[in-house]
Structures are given as C-alpha cells and as structure tokens.
Structure 1
C-alpha cells in the first residue's frame, strides 16, 4: 500500500499547506511498502545492467528508471526507450537530442549507455536515481488529488535550474513550451488561453515573452533563478487555475488575482 498525500484545501491556500507539510508527507510516502520494494530491487540490480537492452528487458528496473524522469507513461514503449538510451547524447544528431521533450535526453545522459562502462556501474548511481524517483512519484501522488499541484511542484523543482542554464533565452523558452507541465504553469500564470499551445512555437515564444514582460517586468527566463519569482508564478497559476475551473463560488480569488495583476502592472511601469 502506498501513502496518499493529503491536501485539505484547494488553490493557493492548499499549496501553502502542502509546502508546510511537505517533509513529513514525503517521508511517509517514501516509506510506503510499494516504493521501498521498487527502490530495493533497483539498488540491488542496476549495477549489473550495462546495456539499454538489459534495462528495457527488466520491467521493475525500467519502472524506476523512467519514473525518475517523469516518463512513467512510456513503460510499454520499450523499442522507443531503447533507441533513446542506445544512441546517447554525445552526438548532436542522436535520437534523444532531436526530441522536443528534453526529459528523454536527460534519461539517456544519466544512464550513459554511450559510455564504456555506462554510468549504471557507478557507486552513486542508484542513490541518485532513487532520489529522483521518490521526488517524481511523490509529485504524481499529489497530482492524483489535484493535478495543478503536480504541475506546481514540477515548476518549483525545474524552473530555477532551467533559468540558470548557460543557453540562450529563446532556447529556454523553447524548453518550457516543450514541457507540458512547465508550459501549463507558465501559460496559465501569464493569463494566456490554452489555445496558445496550438500556435507555431516561434509565435508562442513571442507571446510568452511579451506577456512575461507585462506581468513580471522582464521577458527573460533567467528571472526565475529567484525563488520568489517562481513562487509568484505558481501563485498566479493556482489562482487562475482555480477561477478557470470554477472551483470557487465566491469572488475572493478573483479579487486576489486582480490585486496581484495591478501590483505587477504598477511595478512594471515604475
């Protein structure tokens, strides 16, 4: 049996409660029998795996491997994952590097099957993958109660790292757009309609940057290296999401959102 995280409130109020209880709830979740069994098997066996074929042939190892990168839905796509892993990331034209979802490249780079020996034989490898697995699986469990919190947790974990990367600002925006969870948080937080996602990617970048400038006073992703900026985005996202989904019958969240928007607009002008 797996512990189910509890969030007694919805919207941004629930987010604050979740963050206050995060450490305790995450500890209870990772202590669950299912999680412990997955981790024990992975720790005992991953060091013997030296090829992509061996990994995809072991359901239990592959479950943890994919789960550590939020790729749980690909558990049955063995041929696809094998190709991602076998070609690695050293070659710019490798399969993983061509995919818009950068989680595949992260998976391939982490396992390093294009190295000899691969990273799986390193003494620290199992612990690193298990830590990632616990983080991602907790997010999924929280999302089972409210998917908006899963997306918010993902943004809290990934956005600052992305913002700090040594790449062009447009590349960072492309990465956000190519990541469903990050794109959802950013798009909703900026007050853009879901239909924006159907536009050409270059059009989306232009729109995201224009709106970010208006809302946050900067159109650069690098602003999100600051925890307060990430939290502000998440706050906007959760307030808007709650209003859009009609989960509140009063105007309290709409009023709060209006006040936040007015404050952001004032700051941008001055």
Structure 2
C-alpha cells in the first residue's frame, strides 16, 4: 500500500505544515508501494543501460527516468523521447535544446547519450541522483492529486535549479522559466499577471516578468531565486494570490454570473 501525503490544510498555512513534515512524509512515501519497487529495480539495473535503445526497450526503467523529470506523461511518446535522448544537448540545433520546455534538455543532459562525456548510467552516483529526483517528483504528483497549488509550490526549488543548471544568459534563464509550465504558473500568479498575459509578444512577457519580479521581490537577476528565502517569498505570494483568485471565482456573485451565462 502506498503512503498518501497528509495535507490537512490548504494555502500558505498548508504549505507551512507540508514543509515542516516534508522529510518524514517523503521518507515514508519513498519506502512504500510502487515507488519503492521501482527505485529498487532502477538501482539494480540502470548501470546495464549503455545505449538509448537499451533504455527505450525497458519500460520500467524508462518510466523512472521520465518520472524523475516530471515527464511521465510522455512514456508512450517513444519516437519523441528517443530523439530527445539521442541528440543530447551540446550540438548546435540539438532537438532537446530547441524545445521550450527545458525539462527535456535536463533529461537528455543527465543521461548524456548524445553528449561529449557519453552515457552516464554507470557512474557511481547516477542512480542515486535519478532516484532522488524520481521520488521527489512522484511525491509532488501524489500531493497534486489532493492540492494542485501545493504541488506547484513543491516544484519551485527543482524548477529554478534546472533553469540555472543550464548556465544560459540572464535572458535565456527568464525564457527557460517561461518555457517550464509549472514554474511559469507560479511566477505568473505570484506576480499578478492574468491568464491572457501569455498571448502578448514573448519578448514583452519577458520584460514584464523581469520588471515586476524586481519590483516585487527586490531581486536583480534570475539567479537570486536560488536563495531559499526568495523562493519562500515567491511561494507565499503565489499561494495567497491563488487562494484570492479561487475565492473570487467561487464567490456567490461569480457563480450567479456563471449560471446566467449558460
């Protein structure tokens, strides 16, 4: 039987409870059910993977690999994932590097099939790194089944880390954040941008994100969000604004307007 996250509260109060109990809950989650069986299998077998085909032909290993990067929904998109892995991230025009969702580049870079250093699966710490990500991502999914906002909040630290790991320019980092749908959702909500904001020119979006983030959080570069204190401010504002938005949407007036519009 799998351990289910305990989430008695929502909003920022729920976030504080979750962070205070996170280590105990994730430890229990990692040791239970399907997660424990999958991580054990991955640890015992991943070093045998020497080629992209080896990984693609083992659905169980592939599910952990994709799940570690929040890409579990792509498990059946084999041709797409094979290209992501095969081309790596270092050559000009590499497929994964051109995708707006930078989780694919993070996946490709971690496994290294198409990069100069070669496949990483037999490295001593490789299994531990992927398993840590898989467990964390799986826990986020379980949290999201109960509370989507708390799942997005849990993703912030890893999402920011992935953006910074790419070591792009300042502009590239903001664009990478915008291409990471869960991370963008947090930033867009926290900074008070409406859903229609995504429809304006992409360069204007970037400038607005930079300007409002500096005004709201006092940051000077995207890298400032590596600071846990800055992430906590971002998450707090995201959860507060999200609750306000949901309350307004579910108010008697909005419900009445919705019914009249049917």
Whether TM-score is above 0.5 comes out as yes
Q: Deviations over 1:211-246 (max 9, x none)?
A: 223322345313313221111111000000011112
- Structure 1 gap segments, 5+ residues each: 251-270
Offset of residue 169 of structure 1: 1.8
Matched with 2:122 is 121
Aligned residues of 2:113 and 2:119 also touching (Cα < 8 A): yes
| CA distance in structure 1 between the partners assigned to 2:128 and 2:63 by the alignment | 15
Offset of residue 165 of structure 1: 6.6
Matched with 1:203 is 204
Q: Note closer, same or farther for the CA distance 1:142–1:31 as it changes in structure 2 (3 Å cut).
A: same
Matched, 1:108 2:103: no
Matched, 1:131 2:132: yes
| CA distance in structure 2 between the partners assigned to 1:56 and 1:161 by the alignment | 23
Aligned residues: 250
Q: Deviations over 1:21-65 (max 9, x none)?
A: 001110110011211110111112111111111211111010000
Offset of residue 200 of structure 1: 2.4
Q: Note closer, same or farther for the CA distance 1:194–1:80 as it changes in structure 2 (3 Å cut).
A: same
Q: Which moved more, 1:8-17 or 1:202-211?
A: 202-211
TM-score (norm 1): 0.86
Q: Note closer, same or farther for the CA distance 1:95–1:223 as it changes in structure 2 (3 Å cut).
A: same
| CA distance in structure 1 between the partners assigned to 2:166 and 2:51 by the alignment | 30
RMSD: 2.1
Matches for 1:132-211 after TM superposition, within 5 Å: 132-159=133-160, 162=163, 166-211=167-212
TM-score (norm 2): 0.89
Matched with 1:8 is 8
Matched with 1:255 is none
Q: Deviations over 1:137-174 (max 9, x none)?
A: 11111111111111111113332564587432211110
Matched with 1:268 is none
- Structure 2 gap segments, 5+ residues each: 252-262
Q: Deviations over 1:41-96 (max 9, x none)?
A: 11121111111112111110100000111111100101100011111122021111
Aligned residues of 1:189 and 1:233 also touching (Cα < 8 A): yes
| CA distance in structure 2 between the partners assigned to 1:181 and 1:117 by the alignment | 30
Offset of residue 116 of structure 1: 7.3
| CA distance in structure 2 between the partners assigned to 1:210 and 1:221 by the alignment | 11
Aligned residues of 1:163 and 1:224 also touching (Cα < 8 A): no
Aligned residues of 1:70 and 1:136 also touching (Cα < 8 A): yes
> Displaced runs of 4+ in structure 1, greater than 6 A?
247-250
| CA distance in structure 1 between the partners assigned to 2:210 and 2:163 by the alignment | 16
Aligned residues of 2:177 and 2:184 also touching (Cα < 8 A): yes
Q: Note closer, same or farther for the CA distance 1:117–1:226 as it changes in structure 2 (3 Å cut).
A: closer
